[in-house]
């Protein structure tokens, strides 16, 4: 946890043009975290909690060792018949409901949710979470908050009067500068509204992506991956880093580091041997940028993994991944990028 305050955004410094040591430090950090890891307990600089609700962080720019700031992960718990304070911020957030049921008030409108729903907090939203029922509720929150901070979109907090109000005009609707039509997009994605598909990665249901054009998010791509007992996912190479939350089951992931060979152009050199990372239900798995990854189920039951990625990578030109081995493959495929099947998943 940050000792002098909450870390919203980190910078990168170096005494040379190259950043090899910075990447090496990130790659050395542990990639699986469980409930024992609390990197921020929300006692510093967080406006959402009430005397009943609780928020705590597992992954974010305040971490030591520092892993990433493209995806932040925290949890919000609501005891029975409770709510948090509510607040507003410019960044989006996505809440996956792990336990319980309840509802949101976003910009004075109500949205009901239940277990396994994905709830989208839109850009510039004043929002508050409610649990009116007799069972506790728990949500996993993923967001790309640092990206907003880097762009200077930092106006946030609880409702309060405007300071030095005489200097400013009467109210103007903030939505005048939103992308047209966003207010009609879906804010709660329910399992019944998604479809399981067989993909090179495995059995997947997509919750948000650029192809889901009626979901109200522009920053987070979220999908669920199912791996059968004793099975494995496809082996894929992508530039985006990724956080996976283990909803069910246990297993391990193999990660192959990818080194850049900068010759007359960029070439990728994939490590001959992977690192192995064990995990079980309730853990988070971090896959660094520019990594080949594959997931294996070792339990006697299926594994369910919830994946979250920052969509900005796709907008920067990295909107494809290369499959070095399909989920359905039994013999495997030689790790040659030229022969890999490519897709936009």
Return the higher-pLDDT residue of 13 and 312: 312
User: Residue with structure tokens 């542990």?
Assistant: 30
**How does pLDDT run across 111-170, given as a tens digit for each residue?**
999 999 999 999 999 999 999 999 999 999 999 999 999 999 999 888 778 889 899 999
Q: pTM for the complete prediction?
A: 0.91
User: Residue 195, exposed/middle/buried by CB under 10 A (0-12, 13-18, 19+)?
Assistant: exposed
* Torsion 136-78-280-298 (CA) sign: positive
Contact in structure between 283 and 246 (CB atoms under 8 Å): yes
**How does pLDDT run across 289-332, given as a tens digit for each residue?**
999 999 999 978 899 999 999 999 999 999 999 999 887 653 34
Residue 228 scores a pLDDT above 50: yes
**Correct CATH for 20-343 of 1.10.10.10, 2.60.120.10, 3.40.50.300, 3.20.20.30:** 2.60.120.10
Q: Is 135 helix (H, G, I), strand (E, B) or coil?
A: coil
DSSP 8-state secondary structure symbol assigned to residue 161: P
Residue 4 scores a pLDDT above 90: no
Distance CA 246, CA 303 (A): 8
Q: How many CB atoms lie within 10 A of CB 132?
A: 13
> DSSP H helical segments within the chain, as ranges?
20-28, 145-150, 312-315
Contact in structure between 93 and 144 (CB atoms under 8 Å): no
Q: Which residues contact 186 (CB under 8 A, 6 or more apart)?
A: 120, 193, 214, 215, 216
For residue 300, the model assigns a pLDDT of 85
């Amino acid at each position: 946890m940050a000792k002098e305050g909450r870390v919203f955004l980190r910078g990168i410094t170096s005494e040379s043009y190259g950043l090899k040591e910075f990447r090496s430090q990130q790659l050395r950090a542990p990639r699986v975290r469980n409930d024992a890891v609390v990197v921020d307990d929300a006692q510093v600089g967080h406006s959402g909690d009430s005397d009943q609700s609780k928020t705590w962080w597992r992954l974010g720019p305040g971490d030591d060792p520092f892993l990433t700031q493209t995806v932040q992960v925290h949890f919000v718990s609501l005891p029975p018949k409770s709510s948090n304070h509510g607040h507003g911020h410019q960044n989006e957030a996505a809440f996956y409901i792990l336990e319980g049921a309840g509802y949101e008030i976003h910009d004075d409108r109500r949205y009901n949710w239940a277990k396994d729903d994905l709830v989208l907090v839109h850009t510039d939203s004043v929002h508050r979470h409610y649990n009116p029922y007799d069972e506790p509720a728990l949500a996993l929150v993923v967001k790309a908050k640092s990206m907003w901070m880097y762009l200077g979109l930092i106006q946030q907090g609880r409702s309060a009067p405007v300071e030095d109000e005489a200097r400013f005009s009467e109210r103007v609707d903030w939505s005048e500068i939103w992308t047209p039509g966003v207010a009609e997009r879906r804010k709660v994605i329910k399992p019944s509204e998604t479809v399981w598909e067989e993909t090179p990665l495995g059995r997947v249901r997509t919750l948000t992506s650029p192809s889901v054009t009626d979901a109200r998010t522009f920053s987070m791509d979220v999908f669920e991956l199912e791996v059968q007992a004793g099975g494995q996912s496809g082996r894929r190479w992508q530039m985006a880093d990724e956080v996976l939350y283990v909803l069910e089951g246990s297993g391990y992931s193999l990660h192959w580091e990818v080194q850049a060979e900068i010759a007359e152009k960029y070439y990728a050199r994939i490590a001959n041997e992977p690192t192995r990372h064990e995990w079980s239900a309730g853990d988070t798995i971090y896959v660094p940028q520019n990594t080949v990854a594959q997931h294996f189920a070792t339990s006697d039951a299926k594994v369910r993994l919830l994946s979250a990625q920052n969509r900005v990578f796709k907008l920067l030109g990295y909107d494809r991944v290369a499959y070095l081995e399909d989920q359905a493959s039994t013999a495997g495929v030689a790790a040659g990028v030229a022969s890999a099947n490519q897709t936009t998943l």
